[in-house]
Amino acid sequence: MKHVELIGVSKSFEKQQNVLNEIDLSIEKGEFFVLVGPSGSGKSTLLRMIAGLEDITGGILKISDKTVNHLPPKDRNLSMVFQNYALYPHLTVEQNILFGLHVKKTPKKEQQKRLKETADMMGLTELLKRKPKELSGGQRQRVALARSVVSESPICLMDEPLSNLDAKLRAHMRIEIRRLQKKLGLTMIYVTHDQVEAMTMGDRIMVLNEGKIQQVGKPITLYNKPANLFVASFIGSPKMNMGKAVFSNQQLIIEDKLHLSLDRAEAAGIPKDKNLNIGIRAEHIFPGTHDNTTHELEVINVEQLGNETLITFEIGKELWTAKWLGQWNVHTGDKVAVSISMKNMSFFDADSGLLIKPASAEREQEVVAI
């Protein structure tokens, strides 16, 4: 069932045309849908248009099959969580949570019932009499979430709600929000510029750039089969290693530095007369062994992360990163053996930026249920 639908939606301001351009999108009931893109891509503007806080210049917005273009926010049956929490400093936690219900004149008995259920769920029962200034960042965010949950609106919009939190708390709140969404069956539309948040939280992701949809799909699809160079470079951490490539004398030459013997099976379907870009993920540059070494590369940077090691090489004008599991005794200036294969490369048209051929399909590991 389509819960939220955008048909040819556009947005322009007086001084800026086509902030959003012909957005066609369907979001299913109960889906966790993430809008991701760099600053200025139009994602927050799109969210505000769904909320009714921003007028739609062109196109149709439907919620539950009803056109809502001209409905005010209060009549759209949705809730919103902002980046800055938007709590009233003079009200207690309890009063902040119940503010919306109070405005709607919900009966007091019903207000208290919902408050108790929500406070228990969010771990706020002991904090109800405190003011926002007495709370930590994570606690304030939970109050903002509780205010949204207590409204019992079927659609919840979130505009970068975790960007003010530290890394450890962000990771914890990602899990809490996802768990809450599943438990309540909410349709969640979540805006972020952080692709890690997008990958770890979304059922589906829409990548926006300069007001245009670049790709919509499951996180793993965007990772394995990016539609274009922008998605390839935006999705994934570390980002996909990129380089200009040409076929010459039965070889694939990357950035005039890396030469790989032509694998005819892997090169099938790739035009030899186009300007090409290749992309390869960090985990697909393998440590070289006696049997599989293809190149020796000089290390220009090493990041020891404990559970894995990130090693950076200079490939022509590009910096490539390899991600090796575990701890490796590697230092800047060392020459190390690596194994690089065409089968792990994605090929793009350098002129249009579009994907020509993805890397060989990844196999998802299956967990045996006990």
Give the domain ranges of the chain. Answer: 2-230, 238-357
Q: Are 165 and 138 in contact (CB under 8 A)?
A: yes
Q: Whole-angstrom Cα distance, residue 300 to residue 321?
A: 10
Angle at 153 between CA 152 and CA 157, to 5 degrees: 125
Q: Does residue 344 carry a pLDDT above 90?
A: yes
Question: Do β-strands 295-304 and 335-339 pair in parallel, antiparallel, or remain unpaired?
Answer: antiparallel
Number of neighbours of residue 105 by Cβ within 10 angstroms: 8
- Residue matched to tokens 């090409």: 276
Confidence class for position 1, pLDDT limits 50, 70, 90: low
Selecting from 3.20.20.70, 2.40.390.10, 1.20.1740.10, 3.40.50.300, what CATH number does the domain 2-230 have?
3.40.50.300
Q: Tokens representing 342?
A: 């065409």
Percent of the chain beyond pLDDT 70? 98
265 CB burial (10 A radius; 0-12, 13-18, 19+): exposed
pLDDT of 338: 96
3-state secondary structure of 316: coil
pLDDT of 354: 96
Q: Are 251 and 262 in contact (CB under 8 A)?
A: yes
What would the mean pLDDT of 289-293 be, rounded to a whole number? 91
Q: Are 242 and 322 in contact (CB under 8 A)?
A: no
What would the mean pLDDT of 337-363 be, rounded to a whole number? 90
Residue 98 one-letter amino acid: L
Q: What is the pLDDT of residues 52-82, one digit of tens each?
A: 999 999 999 999 999 999 999 989 999 988 8
pTM confidence score: 0.89
pLDDT of 361: 59
Q: Does residue 50 carry a pLDDT above 90?
A: yes
Q: Does residue 363 carry a pLDDT above 70?
A: no
Residue bearing the bigger pLDDT, 355 or 363:
355
Residue 24 CB-half CA count within 13 A = 1
Q: Whole-angstrom Cα distance, residue 177 to residue 142?
A: 9
pLDDT of 172: 84
Fold that domain 238-357 belongs to in CATH: OB fold (Dihydrolipoamide Acetyltransferase, E2P) (2.40.50)
Q: Are 27 and 33 in contact (CB under 8 A)?
A: yes
Query: Which of 273, 349, 340, 352 has its CA nearest to residue 313?
Result: 340
Q: Does residue 157 carry a pLDDT above 80?
A: yes
pLDDT of 149: 86
Q: What is the pLDDT of residues 208-248, one digit of tens each?
A: 999 999 999 999 999 999 999 999 999 998 999 999 999 98
Mean pLDDT is lowest, of 181-185, 205-209, 236-240, 361-365, for 361-365
Residue bearing the bigger pLDDT, 152 or 298:
298
Percent of the chain beyond pLDDT 90? 66
27 pairs with which residues across the strands?
4
**Mean pLDDT across the chain:** 91
The answer to whether 2-230 and 238-357 have equal CATH topology is: no
Q: What is the pLDDT of residues 248-284, one digit of tens each?
A: 888 899 999 999 988 788 788 888 888 999 999 999 9
Q: What is the pLDDT of residues 94-153, one digit of tens each?
A: 999 999 888 888 899 999 999 998 888 888 999 999 999 999 888 888 898 889 888 889
pLDDT of 315: 95
